[in-house]
């Protein structure tokens, strides 16, 4: 039986270096206690924020000292927890760190309400009196911008205290799906038993044996059927929390509240959904090409991940993936390329799946640490692209951290998803330009098309789903598992009209953790649209365009997202990048159709 190894069976070379944060758990405990002891220092400034410029600067500098160390404490605990979600000691550490974060946030919850008691003229006067406050210009502007939606110090303290409770649906979902659930065992075409996991499900859906894919699909979604009431309840409570929090802060909707946090107009969201909806015929063409390539009259749900080539494609071992990803980013400059290579040699990446490990992939870290990338590498082309994706996030953090002070280094997700997909796009161009193996080239092209499909179209479908389920709650209507199924199936049917939806696919919403993230997913779609435009500029204009892009990365969170992206020459308030991305997707469909003699 093909099974997932225990973490102890994986070589240290392929594990991230968390000892670079704290030498051991005892050092973490000491850091935790040190932060805990200092939180009362924050409370001592309550009622004094607006006294004078010197007092405000003292508080902002104290906040940085304490919260920088708190970030270290929280990150170490969360990453240890992600290594094996079954480990109760690390789950306890993560919960303990989260509680400390809530305590710290509560202790300083008065800061923004008190700042908002000042007029813009008064803040400007403070900056004149204390020039070091000029470093906080964007932070102060952002706080004053949110004045209308910030409540009294007492209410803000209560909301901060409740953060652990309001995060509960997401935490419960994570524990259920990563630690407690299993997803079935199936027999592969060779008669071997294969355990289905969240990490390998997509890869198994690319197996050339259609009957096997169907068994995997039905077995997997049968497992989700057994927890639909639990997952449905957790998601419904998350949606209600989003809607209630927005109402408390005086927003018209949860969506408006979520986007206003990063000062992105809701029109950007609407432009994305409308533009993609207007171009579903291109997605339908992809599905029709896939049906022709597979030799079936109509695609079914278990065919949607299948390659246009009809097979799984060649293995790509991790070492080869590293080499190609490093080579691919050469257009971004030698310094960028060398730094990424050094990072890979410094154990940024936790490479392979192990039992209990959190599913998926992410890039994490703090202002004072190296990046940490969680992978569940599967020795395939898709995993190679995921590596490129997460390294884009990591390099973004590295460049922003070098260029910006702590309070301006953290960037919004809207910008983050551009950095990740720029790397994916460069990898595609590099492999198509340099690899001579026609089979591999075809699979690379197919992989990029799949990523376009799953990022631009699928994530926009998810965004439309999020909007509909929140609107239902905001209208006072019930959200049950049946309602989730109905809404999801309706959207899936529109987006994948040429396919027959089978095998429990209406329950797919259950396996998407991002629905707990409060209008997060649309940024994947805007990200790939901007990334395609940026790479096109870099490859056509060379170093000048690459320098603009690096300036975007270095900007971090020092300005609002649309303004940061504009540094790279892209206007995301316009539908042009989305229309351009759809055009690129269509051109690649032309290319792969010609290669495979389709249509």
* pLDDT tens-place string over residues 474-517: 999 999 999 999 999 999 999 999 999 999 999 999 999 999 99
- pLDDT tens, position by position, 570-591: 999 999 999 999 999 999 999 8
The reply to whether 582 falls in a domain is: no
- pLDDT tens, position by position, 85-95: 999 999 999 99
Tell me the CB-side half-sphere exposure of residue 405, using CA atoms within 13 A.
14
- Residue 352's DSSP bridge partners are 377
DSSP 191: S
Residue whose token pair is 């997803």: 183
What's 374-398 look like in SS3? EEEECCCHHHHHHHHHHHHHHHHHH
Residue 507, pLDDT score? 96
Residue whose token pair is 């389920």: 469
Does the pLDDT at position 1 exceed 80? no
The reply to whether 72 falls in a domain is: yes
Torsion of CA 137, 254, 511, 451, to 10 degrees: -60
Q: How confident is the model at residue 2 (pLDDT cuts 50, 70, 90)?
A: low
DSSP 517: S
436 or 300, greater pLDDT: 300
Give the closest residue to 175 by CA, choosing from 82, 50, 283. Answer: 82
Active site residues: 390
Q: What is the pTM of this model?
A: 0.85
Which residue range(s) make up the domain with 159?
A: 16-166
The reply to whether 79 falls in a domain is: yes
Residue 478, pLDDT score? 93
The reply to whether 149 falls in a domain is: yes
Q: How confident is the model at residue 232 (pLDDT cuts 50, 70, 90)?
A: very high
Residue 66, pLDDT score? 98
CATH number, residue 89:
1.20.140.70
Does the pLDDT at position 47 exceed 90? yes
Instruction: State the average pLDDT for the chain.
Output: 94
352 or 159, greater pLDDT: 352
Q: Other CB atoms closer than 10 Å to residue 51's CB: what's the count?
A: 11
Residue 441, pLDDT score? 86
- CA–CA distance, 444 with 455 (Å, rounded to integer): 16
Pairing assessment for the beta strands 349-352 and 185-187 based on DSSP bridges? unpaired
Residue 581's contacts (CB-CB under 8 Å, 6 or more residues apart) are: 452, 456, 528, 529, 532, 533
Distant-in-sequence contacts of 61-64, Cβ < 8 A, 24+ apart: 63/108, 63/111, 64/406, 64/407
- CA–CA distance, 599 with 596 (Å, rounded to integer): 9
The reply to whether 162 falls in a domain is: yes
Enter the tokens of residue 262: 């990063």
Q: Of all residues in the chain, what percent carry a pLDDT higher than 70?
A: 99
Q: Other CB atoms closer than 10 Å to residue 141's CB: what's the count?
A: 15
Q: How confident is the model at residue 203 (pLDDT cuts 50, 70, 90)?
A: confident
- Residue 364's DSSP bridge partners are 372
Residue 157, pLDDT score? 82
Whether the Cβ atoms of residue 524 and residue 417 lie closer than 8 Å to each other: yes
SS3 161: helix
The reply to whether 261 falls in a domain is: no
Q: How confident is the model at residue 314 (pLDDT cuts 50, 70, 90)?
A: confident
Q: How confident is the model at residue 166 (pLDDT cuts 50, 70, 90)?
A: confident
Domains held by the chain: number: 1
The reply to whether 39 falls in a domain is: yes
The reply to whether 420 falls in a domain is: no
- CA–CA distance, 420 with 527 (Å, rounded to integer): 8
- pLDDT tens, position by position, 277-312: 999 999 999 999 999 999 999 999 999 999 888 777
Residue 350 phi, psi dihedral angles, 5° rounding: -95, 105
């Amino acid at each position: 039986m093909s099974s997932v190894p225990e973490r102890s069976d994986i070589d240290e070379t392929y594990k991230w270096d968390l000892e670079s944060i704290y030498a051991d758990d005892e050092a973490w405990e000491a850091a935790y206690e040190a932060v805990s002891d200092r939180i009362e220092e924050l409370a001592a400034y309550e009622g004094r924020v607006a006294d004078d410029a010197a007092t405000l600067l003292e508080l902002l500098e104290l906040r940085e000292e304490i919260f920088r160390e708190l970030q270290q404490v929280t990150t170490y605990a969360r990453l240890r927890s992600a290594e094996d979600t079954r480990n109760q000691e690390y789950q306890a550490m993560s919960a303990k760190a989260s509680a400390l974060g809530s305590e710290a946030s509560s202790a300083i919850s008065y800061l923004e309400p008190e700042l908002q008691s000042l007029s813009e003229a008064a803040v400007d006067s403070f900056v004149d009196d204390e020039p070091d406050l000029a470093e906080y210009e964007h932070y102060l502007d952002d706080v004053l911008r949110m004045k209308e939606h910030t409540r009294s110090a007492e209410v803000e303290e209560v909301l901060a205290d409740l953060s652990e409770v309001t995060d509960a649906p997401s935490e419960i979902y994570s524990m259920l799906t990563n630690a407690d659930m299993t997803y079935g065992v199936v027999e592969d075409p060779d008669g071997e038993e294969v355990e289905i996991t969240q990490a390998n499900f997509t890869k198994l859906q690319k197996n050339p044996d259609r009957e096997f894919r169907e068994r995997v699909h039905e077995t997997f979604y049968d497992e989700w059927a057994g927890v639909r009431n639990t997952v449905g309840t957790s998601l419904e409570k998350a949606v209600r929390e989003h809607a209630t929090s927005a109402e408390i802060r005086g927003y018209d909707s949860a969506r408006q509240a979520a986007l206003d946090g990063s000062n992105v107009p809701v029109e950007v969201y609407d432009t994305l959904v409308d533009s993609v909806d207007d171009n579903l015929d291109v997605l339908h063409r992809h599905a029709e090409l896939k049906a022709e390539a597979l030799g079936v009259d109509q695609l079914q749900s278990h065919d949607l991940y299948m390659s246009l080539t009809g097979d799984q494609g060649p293995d790509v071992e991790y070492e080869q993936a590293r080499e190609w990803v490093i080579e691919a980013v050469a257009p971004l400059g030698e310094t960028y390329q060398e730094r990424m290579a050094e990072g890979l040699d410094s154990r940024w990446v936790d490479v392979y799946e192990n039992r209990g490990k959190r599913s998926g992939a992410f890039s994490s870290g703090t202002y004072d640490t190296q990046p940490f990338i969680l992978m569940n590498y599967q020795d395939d082309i898709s995993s190679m692209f995921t590596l490129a994706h997460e390294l884009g996030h990591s390099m973004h953090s590295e460049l922003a951290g070098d260029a910006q002070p702590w309070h301006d280094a953290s960037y919004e997700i809207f910008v983050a998803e551009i950095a990740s997909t720029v790397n994916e796009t460069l990898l595609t161009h590099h492999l198509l330009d340099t690899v001579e193996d026609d089979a591999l080239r075809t699979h690379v092209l197919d992989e990029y098309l799949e990523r376009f499909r799953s990022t631009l179209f699928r994530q926009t479908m998810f965004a439309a789903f999020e909007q509909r389920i929140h609107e239902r709650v905001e209208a006072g209507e019930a959200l049950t598992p049946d309602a989730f199924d109905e809404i999801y199936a309706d959207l899936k049917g529109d987006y994948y009209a040429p396919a027959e939806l089978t095998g429990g696919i209406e329950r797919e919403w259950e396996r998407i953790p991002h629905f707990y993230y409060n209008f997060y997913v649309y940024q994947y779609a805007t990200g790939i649209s901007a990334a395609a435009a940026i790479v096109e500029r870099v490859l056509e204009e060379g170093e000048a365009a690459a320098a603009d892009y690096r300036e975007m990365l270095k900007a971090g969170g020092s300005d609002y997202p649309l303004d940061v992206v504009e540094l790279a020459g892209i206007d995301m308030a316009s539908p042009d990048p989305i229309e351009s991305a759809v055009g690129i997707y269509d051109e690649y469909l032309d290319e792969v159709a010609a290669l495979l003699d389709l249509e």
